[in-house]
Structure 1
Amino acid sequence: MLSNTTRTQIKKGSHKAVFDPQALYDIIDESLIAHVALNDDNGPIVIPMLAWRVDNKVYIHGAKNSRLLRTLKAGQKTCLTFTLFDGWVLARSAFHHSAHYRSAVVFGQFENIEENKEKDRVLNHFVEHIAPGRTEEVRLSNDKELTATDVLAIELNEASVKIGCHGVNDGKEDLDLKAWAGILPYRTVVGPLEPCDDLHPSIETPDYSSAYKNRWHKQ
């Protein structure tokens, strides 16, 4: 079960709340984009960051001179949001139009990963997540590159998940209107790969479809 705190309690649309940790993991693993919130001297700011999960932690990374990472390393409390948009709900009345979506909110504080060996492990995990088998083909990060990179981790100890997957919810008085009603699905399609101009012709196109399942493009 996901945590149940004053910050994770879903009051608006509580019937959309999901408490299975696997739902949280699935949203993070598919999204890979976290909107990270912080406060500085200029006020609140939200920055989108590449983010990935290893077990029960979410990781972000960047250059050591990043204002965001410096602030988070100092221990500031933060909030991360992940959102996947799945489609429009088209009702017979304008008021009842809605959307299908999956969203997650994570609260907590980041910790800095100090050891280059651990940085290398979680960064390579990210590469394998988006392109299975790739770490066996490319040059891995060296100590200089790892030292120049900050990697931060946050525990998934306080989080909420909300999933909207309902159908059309028109009132009885609108059911006889001569307007089409239903779902307009929205899907992200991954691929096909586009080779760079200077790629040697002897190099075969890899197959990363296993990472994307039904999101992989159809020939």
Structure 2
Amino acid sequence: MPGSNAEQVNEGAYDKNIGITLWLAYRPYLIPLILTCFAGFMGRVFLLANANLVGLWVDSLCGQYSSHCLPRTGWTATWTSADFLIWLWIFVSLGFFLSLFFRVCFSRLSALAVSSIHDETILRTSRFPMSYFDRVPVGRIVTRFASDYGNVFRLFGGPLAEFLAILSDLVTMILLTSLASSYFLPPILLIIAFHFVVYRFNREFLKMNRR
């Protein structure tokens, strides 16, 4: 607030203004952002689907009457080892380039989003009455445009992209593992629930160690 001289400190849950800030920053680039995230998700799918493809390849080498392998059905039923090898290279190449595309484009969009926040902050600050600059220390104002801006830029460009990549990996692993065998799904959900409980139990301890 223009008339406030108190430093706001938030502890515990994330403030709702963080979500509002993210929305306002990325809203002008919403369509490119969705396409970029979709490309990143597909990149993770292609990379992680190699394990499923290798499993189908191994099944094709077991022989028709082996009790330890699944029967050859579907679109890979007539594939030879050369076909599997070619498609493995295709999956790896697509996964690599789509993941690289996601990283580069997301960093670029994040830089534009942070720049829009910076420009909007300067515009609004320049409209404050002169009495605001008499009450608020100069160092606090400078910090908002220096240190805080750098922290926001690092958050948008790095950790946020990493969070989306990890989320894509988690969703992709659940989907691909379920496609391989539905028996794996309950243990995966149990492991996720266990990790969430451990995180909730140690959240306050983690916050203290970060300080």
Q: The TM-score by the shorter chain falls in which range?
A: under 0.3
Structure with bigger strand share is: 1
TM normalised by structure 1 equals 0.23
Structure with bigger helix share is: 2
TM normalised by structure 2 equals 0.23
